[in-house]
Amino acid sequence: MCYNKTMFVDTAKVSLKAGDGGNGAVSFRREIYIPKGGPDGGDGGKGGNIVFKADKDTNTLIDFRFTPILTAENGKNGAGQRAAGRSGKDLIVEVPIGTVVYKIGTKSVNGSVEDRKLGRAPLSVSETEYSRILLADLTYDGQEAIIAKGGDGGFGNAHFKSSTRQAPIIAEVGEPGEEFEAELELKTMADVGLVGLPNAGKSTFLSVVSNAKPEIADYPFTTITPNLGVATIDGRDLLIADIPGLIEGAAEGKGLGHDFLRHVDRTAVLLHLVDIYSNDAGEAYTTIRKELEKYSDLKDRPEIVALTKCEGVDEDIIKMQMAAILAKNPAAKIFTISSSAHLGLKELLRELSQVIVSSQRRGVRSLAKREVAPPAHGDGPGGRAPERDETITTDDTLPVISLNPKELKTAWKVEKTEDGKFIVTGEKIEKFARRTDLNNYASVNRLRDIMKKLGIRGELTTMGAEPDSIISIAGKEFTFVEDY
């Protein structure tokens, strides 16, 4: 199937794979007249990130239909003479302003699919459900967000030299970059959202007050994608979005409106158009209001109602239709307009402009109320405890993790599966495990030493771990005690 390049696409699903970190090197300096040069293996380079950037010149997500997999560059391996590997280049992906990015996956009552792959949860799964995690909301031109992080490079053996370990053969492997599926949604960034039943006159209104050229016809659903137009009143530009016609049940997926309700999420004001020739304007108004109230928080959005196609209509009919709307919402502010006859448009646009300005001012005041002074370091009121030192240090016996004493018992957790395997979880210990080369016995023993330092080894013994018991951390498995 062939897609038109100008086709409007406001949702997409894409697979992301950030770059893997490069491996550290095991190397020793060997030069004439320098018999004991020592270790000089360099560190691996960091993997490239996947970065999304909002671009004002991009207005659709259609490119992701042709590029469903995005991959960043891997970091290079380290080398001798303490040469660090080059970091992978970040992948910059331009998306339209208003793009929202979610990480999607499946979770179960026994843990997520990812957790089970890494050995963090039992393999038996009785229930699963779809999950979405908000990663970024790109709302202005040039805004960037790291969506998938590249893996850190592994340390070379030069990093592990100490007074008692003068010839280390330990080097870390690079961490894998983040890999997952993401869902993109485009939410139009407009000041005014046009809503109403099909053939309420939304497209005609937009074509008259702006430079937009939407399709106009005398049959329902002539608008099948959101249209944007800029209307100017008293020197102020209003960005108006024409949303495809809604029908009763749109919030549950009926008609076209369900797919495009997201585009009114960000609007400062809703312009609700009602056809003066409706059998019951109050009922037509209520139908749309019910759908908006079912979707997000739109029921609280400022709203202006306009009766359309009013040229040549008897005044009594106009009063009757206005009364029908006011019976449903006594606070409704109603205008009568005719787009084709250019009647009442300036007054309506001025009112919209004033509502937008007021909404923006309220937003600024609300933001100011939420702003608080940055917390001070310390344990007193309004402060916070000093951040943990997450650097890797080395003493004369083994590399250790610097953690506050209070954190040692909460930094990890051990679980035993039905088949006797021991699953160890915890941010820092998993990071070390990912960087451990299981083919290098010295690297594995280093991981065992770190487990001992953290108290994990003692917990495993208490839980009945034997020398040949399998320990699983971040998907890497090894025996409790070194095989001989």
167/227 same-domain check: no
Specify which residues 182 forms β-bridges with. 14, 103
For position 359, what pLDDT does the model report?
Answer: 81
State yes or no: 474 annotated in a binding site.
no
For position 242, what pLDDT does the model report?
Answer: 82
What tokens appear for 255 in the block?
Answer: 């008609």
Tokens 């998938």 correspond to 148
State yes or no: 222 annotated in a binding site.
yes
- Evaluate whether residue 484 is within a structural domain: no
72/168 same-domain check: yes
State yes or no: 479 annotated in a binding site.
no
240/301 same-domain check: yes
For position 405, what pLDDT does the model report?
Answer: 55
- Evaluate whether residue 372 is within a structural domain: no
Residue by residue, pLDDT tens for the chain (484 residues) are 333 334 557 789 999 999 999 999 999 987 776 666 789 999 999 999 999 999 988 888 888 888 789 999 999 999 999 999 999 999 999 999 989 999 987 654 455 444 544 444 444 444 455 688 999 999 899 999 999 999 999 999 998 888 777 889 999 999 999 999 999 988 877 889 888 888 888 889 998 998 766 444 443 444 446 677 889 999 898 988 887 655 444 344 444 444 556 667 788 899 999 999 999 999 999 988 887 887 656 778 899 999 999 999 999 999 999 999 999 999 999 999 999 999 999 999 999 999 998 887 765 444 344 443 333 333 333 333 333 333 444 344 444 445 555 555 568 999 999 999 999 999 989 999 999 999 999 999 999 999 999 999 999 999 999 999 999 999 999 999 976 4
Question: What CATH number corresponds to the domain at position 115?
Answer: 2.70.210.12
63/97 same-domain check: yes
244/286 same-domain check: yes
Q: How far apart are CA 451 and CA 442, in angstroms?
A: 14
Structural domain that includes position 281: 192-356
- Evaluate whether residue 295 is within a structural domain: yes
Question: What CATH number corresponds to the domain at position 338?
Answer: 3.40.50.300
320/458 same-domain check: no
State yes or no: 428 annotated in a binding site.
no
| 3-class secondary structure per residue, 241-280 | EECCCCCCCHHHCCCCHHHHHHHHCCCCEEEEEEECCCCC
| End-of-domain residue from the set 334, 356, 378 | 356
State yes or no: 340 annotated in a binding site.
yes
State yes or no: 223 annotated in a binding site.
yes
Q: How far apart are CA 103 and CA 69, in angstroms?
A: 14
State yes or no: 214 annotated in a binding site.
no
State yes or no: 339 annotated in a binding site.
yes
State yes or no: 242 annotated in a binding site.
yes
- Evaluate whether residue 383 is within a structural domain: no
264/314 same-domain check: yes
196/182 same-domain check: no
For position 261, what pLDDT does the model report?
Answer: 65
For position 295, what pLDDT does the model report?
Answer: 65
State yes or no: 338 annotated in a binding site.
yes
298/322 same-domain check: yes
State yes or no: 310 annotated in a binding site.
yes
State yes or no: 60 annotated in a binding site.
no
142/166 same-domain check: yes
Question: What CATH number corresponds to the domain at position 418?
Answer: 3.30.300.350
- Evaluate whether residue 364 is within a structural domain: no
State yes or no: 245 annotated in a binding site.
yes
State yes or no: 225 annotated in a binding site.
yes
| End-of-domain residue from the set 127, 152, 186 | 186
State yes or no: 294 annotated in a binding site.
no
State yes or no: 196 annotated in a binding site.
yes
- Evaluate whether residue 155 is within a structural domain: yes
Contacts by 341-350 with C-beta closer than 8 Å and gap 24+?
Answer: 341/311, 342/208, 343/310, 343/311, 344/306, 344/310, 345/205, 345/208, 345/209, 346/233, 348/271, 348/304, 348/306, 349/209, 349/231, 349/233, 349/238, 350/233, 350/234
SS3 442: helix
76/212 same-domain check: no
Q: How far apart are CA 469 and CA 479, in angstroms?
A: 5
Backbone angles phi and psi of 327, in degrees to 5 = -65, -30
State yes or no: 59 annotated in a binding site.
no
- Evaluate whether residue 322 is within a structural domain: yes
Give the model confidence (pLDDT) of 309-349 as tens digits.
999 999 999 999 999 999 999 999 999 999 999 999 999 99
**Contact of 134 with 163, CB cutoff 8 Å:** no
- Edge to edge, the sheet with strand 470-473 lists 413-416, 422-425, 470-473, 476-479
For position 122, what pLDDT does the model report?
Answer: 46
- Evaluate whether residue 316 is within a structural domain: yes
119/101 same-domain check: yes
Q: How far apart are CA 378 and CA 252, in angstroms?
A: 51
| End-of-domain residue from the set 186, 207, 233 | 186
Closest C-alpha to 294, from 252, 257, 339: 252
For position 325, what pLDDT does the model report?
Answer: 97
State yes or no: 243 annotated in a binding site.
yes
State yes or no: 393 annotated in a binding site.
no
Number of domains the chain contains: 3
